[in-house]
Amino acid sequence: MNKVLGVLSLACVLLLAGCKAADKRADIEKEVEEVLAQMTLDEKIAVLHAQSKFSARGVPRLGIPELWCDDGPHGVRPDTFWDKWASAGQTNDSCTAYPSLTCLAASWNRDLAYRYGRSVGEEARYRKKNVLLGPGVNICRTPLNGRNFEYMGEDPYLAGELAARYVQGVQSNKVAACVKHFALNNQECHRMDGNVNVDDRTLYEIYLPAFKKAVQQGGAWSIMAAYNQYDGAFACHNARLIKDILKGEWGFDGAAISDWGGVHDTEGAARGGLDIEFGTAGAYNDYYLAEPYKARIVSGELSEDELNDKVRRALRLNFRTRADGYSGSFLSPEHTADSRRIGGEGIVLLRNNGVLPLAGNARKIVVLGENAIRPMVVGGSSSSLKTQHEISPLQGIRDAFPEAEVVYCRTYYSGMPTPGSYNYSQYDITETRPAGELLTEALAAVEDADYVIFVGGLNKNETQDCEGEDRLSYELPFGQNAIIERLAAVRPDLVFVNISGSPVALPFAEKVGAVVQAWYLGSETGNALADVLSGAVNPSGKLPFSFPVSLEEGPLKTERQYPGSADEKGVWQVYYEEGIYVGYRWYDLHGGVQFPFGYGLSYTTFEYGQAKASAKVMKDRLTVSIPLTNTGDRAGAEVVQLYIADEEASVDRPVKELKGFEKVWLEPGETKTVSFTIGRDALSFFDASRHEWVAEPGVFKALVGASSADIRSEVEFRLK
């Protein structure tokens, strides 16, 4: 009886919460209409465009405050001057820097995604920001994309699941998440003008699902339109993307915001569905949605009904993000702990011949590589942050092994200054010695070391994971490959730590003792890395994208596909001719992958049992379950991945597609049963001719495994 009462009580609580949320929405809608009815034309126009670099006007006469935005998604960007991009030089805007979103994606942890969003949202609320510009969910189509580190990998299901929870976490603080960049912003090369040519099936199956989940499951209050063109129209005034799909098919009731400087004409922005314009060059009153828009309203060229819809959305965004007495929190110990945990849980162990974890009684540890001391939170352009501290990998290792002699050698020099206005490195990162001398010093130092750790990779400079520029090569820069080959010849137990936000070529992987993919880990970089190297944290990250052996093995084979080329009219055209075969969908058919999507090792081992389906014939839903056992001697977590294969499709379909995942924590010897419930949506493909999702009756397989290339068990079922 008590159990029944408990269930009824929980149901009542959930019902009451739902009723309160509905009442709140109704109150906001009522207020929106009341305010709209009192606004003058000038006041309506004023709320639709910027008044400074990061703010839009309110309606002072009616008590409506300004709307303030700030760059995310990895932390709250330092304030700029009103009319300049330069830092305002304030002393109270040093934030917590969180790991890059690729790191979050590598955690494969929905709860952690919510915690990430809630934590960064608390900092944004404290700084009195209404809109946090993130998360980014554009698909990793090429490893060379300069902003891959800001996104969530190559798979739309994974990116969508985590983005939805991140959005919910941010907005729990009355701060709007602004999901970006909508849509098809998959390269930085010609991002401002390139026109993407993509078929509808690929658009709906690969490049839109993460946005859709952020809107429909996450409840996003704002969306940022991209710079690029799609189907001959810029994304910031692309009626098909914004009006037909976002607001029409998905029922989005929030505000569509331009990327900064992404608007190109008044009529396009007005009729294409854009609601708020930021970043256009020139005086604020001359913005396309400012005085030029007003003039067309007055002349009758453009509809006032359309204007009122934009104003409603701007007001709705404003009212949803009122503080209501909540002040948030900033630079708290909890935020530091969140940053460290996200980093530790997202680090991926790619190779380990037994050298990791490092023994606690190490006598001498040699740390090599420029990235061991180079600050990273300051780079990447819009992701550049100002923090009170950034623990370097070198410092983290020294703190984790206080009894050991930790020797550092620069080993290589990037030859470029640290980007950004803030440099918090406690080390002198300049270098005058020749490359040969740096390598000679390192070779001498490693001879008698217990452990050798090389911290290299990319560095968020231009062309090295940075907004505005794609990478120039898939190879590691600054001669690192040759250096590591030399070092591995004398120390084959060398641990290579790769810091990057994108896949990179690792031709030496089989010649070293361990390879660790560490990402950009934020304020707690060194501590999070040391946690994994020392074994204080058992690695549980899995790759959110494939690491091909080389670019030549990947799906982008021609200049038309990437980076594109100018047509006869001078318009830069990019053709997504690989279609739906992005990432593992391509490599499943053609091979050529070094480390597959979903891959990652642990310091313990896991045994998968036999997968079972709740029925042999599926009508509407079906549950797939599998036992998982920790067969090692350490507690750890495994990401169990569910892929679906369509065995009898009438159209060309991938070998398999990710349709479920669960991260499971197990003590040594412990067994848990992992269950996935799937519906018809998991079996469907997009039929462009009918413009609908189709699940064809026939035979399917549920494939359960530890990565896209490591399927441990499968079960067949039929859709009736």
Name the residues annotated as catalytic. Answer: 259
> CB-based contacts of 147: which residues, under 8 Å, 6+ apart?
136, 138, 185, 188, 465, 466, 467
Residues 6+ apart with CB under 8 A from 266: 288, 289, 292, 293, 296
Q: How many CB atoms lie within 10 A of CB 701?
A: 17
State both tokens at 638.
Answer: 């495994």
Q: Residue 524's Cα: distance from chain center in Å? A: 18
Q: Which two tokens stand for residue 415?
A: 């030859």
Distance CA 587, CA 510 (A): 21
Angle between helices 393-400 and 525-534 (to 10 degrees): 50
Nearest to 498 by CA among 521, 469, 467, 531: 521
Distances, alpha carbon 225 to alpha carbons 11, 230, 587, 589, in Å: 39, 11, 31, 33
Rounded CA gap, 138 and 214, in Å? 12
Judged by DSSP in three states, 636 sits in: strand
Count H helices, E strands: the chain?
17, 30
Handedness of CA 207, 663, 705, 105 (dihedral sign): positive
CA distance 355 to 681: 44
Give the CA diameter of the chain: 82
Q: Which residues pair with 351 in a beta bridge?
A: 515
Please name the residues in contact with 244: beta carbons below 8 A apart, sequence gap of 6 or more: none
Give the Cα separation of 609 and 713 in Å (integer).
7
**Residue 65 contacts by C-beta under 8 Å, 6 or more apart in sequence?**
58, 318, 322
Nearest residue to 274 via CA among 230, 231, 226, 228: 226
SS3 576: coil
